[in-house]
Amino acid sequence: MSSDSQEIRRSILFKWHETLSKYGNLFSSDSVSGTSPPSVFVGSYNYPKVFAGPMVPPVHGDTTILDNPEKWIGKSLEEIVNFRLNLIRGTKKIPIEQTEGRYIENLQEVSMSSKPTDSDLVFTKLPSSNISLDGESAPFGPMGEIKSAKFSGTSSVKPIEKVFYDHDLKAQDAVLNLYNSGIEISKIQKCFSIGMLGQKRKIVPTKWSIIAIDDIISNSLADEILDYGLIDSCQIFSFAHLGNLFSVVLFPHRWIFEMIEAWYSNGILGFGSDSEDARGIDHPPAIAGAYFAAKLGVLEYLSKNKIQAGVVVLREIRPEYAIPVGVWQVREGIRQAMKQNSLNADNFDDALLIASKKLSISKNEWISHGKILDMMRQKTLSDFF
């Protein structure tokens, strides 16, 4: 980790301990009363018996911003980390097949609520105020095992309520139904995670549900754009936030997609990448959930404009991204990139050069760690029809 990363992390930790000193009484009780954004979380530890519960801050009011990634563009890394740290996570061990019963049904009502939910949690003992900023997983605030939980003031989002009570609807169709109804992806992810969608319902760890929802929606959009005409020139889009720099290159080609990431570890540059053609990807991507999040952000643009293209996404992760806050920032970063005015290039090589100049890594380095040139030389599906 670079000295910049360490300094940023130290600063955030220092301010968190200041908050604990100032408002320590809020976190030093075996109960908490507050307004959930609304938010639920399911861990992956001990799977298939997982720890599921609500996330509640020790304050009342409109707390929506604390767990609404779609509204976090423009916020600083410190602000977003503090949103996370101020949510107390309640946990209770639940078998993944247990999607009914009073506790889990309460969490389902919280997940489908259209507004923040008043919550009262009682813990078996004092919540732990230890937090983890290990550089790998998203940070968490205090956590405690739930003895009892009460919720009030829920108001169901009608499209979610409709698919929740439709047990004949497949999970994939339910997800697409909600997405096409305009429900935010972070909301769909919570509902999927807490076992609310599909025919054979299960509770799904949050980090897995995030990937699953991005994958389901992006695959549907990829199928859709295969019927559209190709763009006629190369376009370059870029955006930077939270120490992440994105460059997106669209070029005239049947749908192929590659994402290449670069990051700094103790001053050494590392790379990761993965790709697909019109048949999709048939293995877990080397760059994990970031792949599907970026793919979704680009495909939304292609679908909206009814066009088809080949795509390369370059992501440079700078040392300033000292605390990972989740793959939502990739999805929202790409969405923002596609809203910017594009630059145009006469050919693919020039487009990559322009895209690379938005970053600190050369075009040749990016290309040497991917296989987009090989993919472009291969026959596309259209060559066989």
Cα 77-299-138 angle, rounded to 5 deg: 25
DSSP state of 11: H
Q: CA–CA separation, 184 vs 318, rounded Å?
A: 28
DSSP assignment of 319-355, as one string? TT--S---THHHHHHHHHHTTSPPEEESSHHHHHHHH
Residue 384 pLDDT class (50, 70, 90 cuts): very low
* pLDDT at residue 328 is higher than 90: yes
β-bridge partners, 149: 121
DSSP state of 277: B
Instruction: Give which of 69, 61, 66, 116 is closest to 88, Cα–Cα.
Output: 66
Residue 385 pLDDT class (50, 70, 90 cuts): very low
Instruction: Give which of 41, 19, 11, 181 is closest to 111, Cα–Cα.
Output: 41
Higher pLDDT, 44 or 21: 44
User: Which tens digits make up the pLDDT trace of 30-66?
Assistant: 999 999 999 999 999 999 999 999 999 999 999 999 9
What b/e readout covers 79-101, taking b as 16+ CB neighbours within 10 angstroms? ebbbbbbbbbbbbbebebebbee
User: Which tens digits make up the pLDDT trace of 202-234?
Assistant: 999 999 999 999 999 999 999 999 999 999 999
Q: Where are the beta strands (DSSP E) in 200-353?
A: 234-241, 244-251, 257-265, 268-276, 310-317, 343-345
For the chain, the average pLDDT equals: 92
Instruction: Give which of 155, 217, 206, 187 is closest to 51, Cα–Cα.
Output: 206
Show Cβ contacts of residue 116 under 8 Å, excluding neighbours closer than 6 positions. 35, 36, 37, 38, 61, 62, 63, 64, 153
Q: CA–CA separation, 239 vs 256, rounded Å?
A: 21
Q: Please return the burial class of 341, using the count of CB atoms within 10 Å of its CB with bins 0-12, 13-18 and 19+.
A: exposed
Task: Give the start-to-end residue ranges of the domains of the chain.
Answer: 3-157, 234-384
Show Cβ contacts of residue 113 under 8 Å, excluding neighbours closer than 6 positions. 38, 153, 154, 155, 156, 157
Overall average pLDDT of the 154-166 stretch = 96
Cα–Cα distances in Å, from 259 out to 15, 108, 152, 254, 364? 35, 35, 44, 16, 15
Terminal Cα-to-Cα distance of the chain (whole angstroms)? 51
User: Which tens digits make up the pLDDT trace of 79-116?
Assistant: 999 898 889 999 999 999 999 999 999 999 999 999 99
pLDDT value of position 317: 96
Q: CA–CA separation, 48 vs 367, rounded Å?
A: 41
Q: CA–CA separation, 312 vs 316, rounded Å?
A: 13
pLDDT value of position 3: 61
* pLDDT at residue 72 is higher than 70: yes
CA 159, 224, 209, 62 torsion-angle sign: negative
pLDDT value of position 372: 94
pLDDT value of position 27: 66
Show Cβ contacts of residue 315 under 8 Å, excluding neighbours closer than 6 positions. 244, 245, 246, 259, 260, 261, 262, 290, 294, 330
User: Which tens digits make up the pLDDT trace of 183-193?
Assistant: 999 999 999 99
Q: CA–CA separation, 36 vs 65, rounded Å?
A: 10
Q: Which residue do the tokens 């440079």 mark?
A: 316
Cα 228-231-236 angle, rounded to 5 deg: 130
Question: What does pTM read for this prediction?
Answer: 0.93
